[in-house]
Amino acid sequence: TAISMGPLQAKRALYEAMSMGVDEAVLLCDSSFAGSDTWATSQVLAHAISYLGDFDVVFCGRQAIDGDTAQVGPQLAEQLDIAQITYVQKIRELDERRIMVERALEDGFELVQTKLPVLLTVVKELNEPRFPSVQGIVKAFEKSIKILEAKDIGINLELAGIKGSP
């Protein structure tokens, strides 16, 4: 399941993700989310993930290109009260209870193992993205994107948007 928080225009990115093989997509879209800093963003995402139910691995990018802070992933892991591993460049082992990954360092990597569930922030070396096929694009647009608002995920509005942004 791919999740994005933003305006309705973010549906385009979610359709692209589905055309590349994602099964489901969820857009967190509510005017009360506008102006969220990294802390408020992680609050909204954590509430949405909890609302959606059980999970084993949460994948996040290393950092956003606008704020460039690399804070949302780690803050999200804290909100979900799960282990986190940052800068993951390769998944070595994965089973129903644990994961072992290579974590990128400036001069090499380190092996890190933890139990599931876990949040991983990943670097581009982790995977080569699929190019969407024509069939994948058609299938993506046959699916619907679930749109969730603040009331759906049960978040206190004091934790989201400008109000929730310290």
Residue-by-residue DSSP string for the chain = -EEEES-GGGHHHHHHHHHTT-S-EEEE--GGGTT--HHHHHHHHHHHHHHH---SEEEEES--TTT----HHHHHHHHHT-EEEEEEEEEEEE-SSEEEEEEEETTEEEEEEEESSEEEEE-GGG--PPPPPHHHHHHHHHS--EEE-HHHHT--GGGSTTTT--
Model confidence pLDDT, tens digit, residues 80-122: 999 999 999 999 999 999 999 999 999 999 999 999 999 999 9
The encoded tokens of residue 96 equal 């129903």
Closest CA to 83 of 96, 73, 95: 73
Per-residue model confidence (pLDDT) at position 66: 58
Give the CA-trace dihedral at 95, 80, 6, 141, to 10 degrees: 30
Per-residue model confidence (pLDDT) at position 65: 55
Per-residue model confidence (pLDDT) at position 63: 60
User: Could you tell me the CA-to-CA distances from 135 to 3, 12, 106, 107, 141 in Å, in that order?
Assistant: 22, 17, 40, 41, 10
Per-residue model confidence (pLDDT) at position 68: 59
DSSP β-ladder status, 2-5 and 25-28: parallel
Per-residue model confidence (pLDDT) at position 120: 96
Per-residue model confidence (pLDDT) at position 124: 85
Q: What is the pLDDT along the chain (166 residues), one digit of tens a residue?
A: 999 999 999 999 999 999 998 999 999 999 999 999 999 999 999 999 999 999 999 999 876 655 556 778 999 999 999 999 999 999 999 999 999 999 999 999 999 999 999 999 999 888 887 788 888 888 888 899 999 999 999 999 999 999 889 8
Closest CA to 103 of 92, 95, 117, 94: 92
Would you put residue 81 in left (φ > 0), alpha (ψ -120 to 50) or beta?
left
